[in-house]
Amino acid sequence: MKFNKKILIACIVIALLMPAFFYLKFYLTDNNKPMHNIALGMLYSFIVSVSIFTVNIKIFNWLRLKFPWDKKFIQRISSEILLTNFIAVIIISICALIFSLAFNHFGNQKLSIVLFNNIIVAIIINTISISILEGYYYFKQWKTSLIQTEQLKRENIQSQFEALKNQIDPHFLFNSMNTIYSLIDTHPDKAKEFITKFSKTYRYVLDVKEKVVVSLKDEIEFLKSYIFLQKIRHEGNLEISINIDAQKLNNYIPPLSLQMLVENAIKHNIISENKPLKIKIFNNSNSLIVKNNLQPKDSINESTKIGLNNLSERYKYISKKAPRFYIKDNEYIAEIPILKEE
């Protein structure tokens, strides 16, 4: 929040009203008040107002970072009122002393009485101004939060739709049914396991439909079921390793994000006996990394990157960190931030 035209207008209004208030008060008690220094009174009020508002905005922005609007509300408001009023007292004292010594602005009035009157009025106006400023800021944040929540819901719905669409894709279902059929006679136990994993993938997609983030542990468990299906289909031509530090499993990521990255690698790369696809999933200090050897299919249509764009948009609403997607040393690498509970 910057020192804008609205605040400048407020300072001008105060510069006009404050002298008028004190002169009216004086004339009700003493008719001998000279009128020639009313302009000086307006200048004094304007300088005080601009100085206090400028400092208030600096304090407001500093406290906004130190005490976010949705957390530590009491500490923020109390600190803001105390600090801004303390600074206002200092500014008024300095300005009153300068105008008294340099221009004899207050005439025969005692400086202590002038200071007391000015400080009381300034504290009242300052507290009201801070309340209005905070109210305006909270309203904007509340409105932004509602918009972001709705956008995040749409992104999550889109993500779930893409996941379901890919799972319900006729080719996927046809291949899965063929796999189950071929396993029933030769490997009935594996066929049962395939059906169990198959149902788990659908169940998980339905379970996370209302969630913004899920624990990494839950996502990995779901991913293992999905990987099992893919490995059965591609036999020994698909190699996927998962190496996640145990202490990271209680952190969070957006739902279906790992599955989408693995699915992208499978969808866009050749998987054959001569060219096995190798996918590695691991973590560094702050991110999950999904890496695969790059062997793109010649026949595949150009990627729309809907899934990657969707994942990036979801991160915008829940974190200041953003995913990274890049190619290095003939490997496609996706890095997604690990989110910690605050």
- Please write down the long-range contacts of 75-80, taking CB distance under 8 Å and 24 or more positions apart: 77/134, 80/130, 80/134
User: What is the predicted pLDDT for the residue at 288?
Assistant: 95
Q: Tell me the C-alpha to C-alpha distance, in Å, between residue 218 and each of 205, 221, 265, 285, 309.
A: 12, 5, 21, 20, 23
Least reliable range by pLDDT among 69-83, 173-187, 240-254? 173-187
Segments making up each domain of the chain, as ranges: 5-145, 169-337
User: What is the predicted pLDDT for the residue at 294?
Assistant: 93
Q: What DSSP designation does 248 have?
A: G
Nearest alpha carbon to residue 229 among 274, 276, 262, 254: 262
DSSP class per residue in 11-60: HHHHHHHHHHHHHHHHHTT-TT--STTHHHHHHHHHHHHHHHHHHHHHHH
The tens digit of pLDDT for each residue in 163-172 reads 544 544 455 5
Distance in angstroms (rounded) separating the CA atoms of residues 188 and 56? 73
Q: Are 312 and 264 in contact (CB under 8 A)?
A: no
Pseudo-torsion of CA 93, 96, 101, 107, nearest 10°?
A: -130
Q: What DSSP designation does 321 have?
A: -
User: How confident is residue 341, by pLDDT bands cut at 50, 70 and 90?
Assistant: low
User: What is the predicted pLDDT for the residue at 190?
Assistant: 77
CATH class of the 169-337 domain in this structure: alpha beta
Least reliable range by pLDDT among 130-134, 147-151, 295-299, 324-328? 147-151
Q: What is the mean pLDDT of residues 149-162?
A: 61
pLDDT, greater one: 42 or 238: 238
pLDDT, greater one: 220 or 196: 220
Distance in angstroms (rounded) separating the CA atoms of residues 310 and 163? 12
- Residue 257: how many CB atoms within 10 A of its CB? 25
Distance in angstroms (rounded) separating the CA atoms of residues 160 and 243? 26
- Asked if residue 319 has pLDDT above 70, the reply is yes
The tens digit of pLDDT for each residue in 13-28 reads 666 666 666 555 555 5
- Asked if residue 60 has pLDDT above 80, the reply is no
β-strand pairing of 214-215 with 252-253: antiparallel
The tens digit of pLDDT for each residue in 71-129 reads 666 777 778 788 888 888 888 888 888 877 777 766 667 777 777 877 887 788 777 77
- As a whole-number percent, the residues of the chain with pLDDT over 70 amount to 71
- Asked if residue 198 has pLDDT above 70, the reply is yes
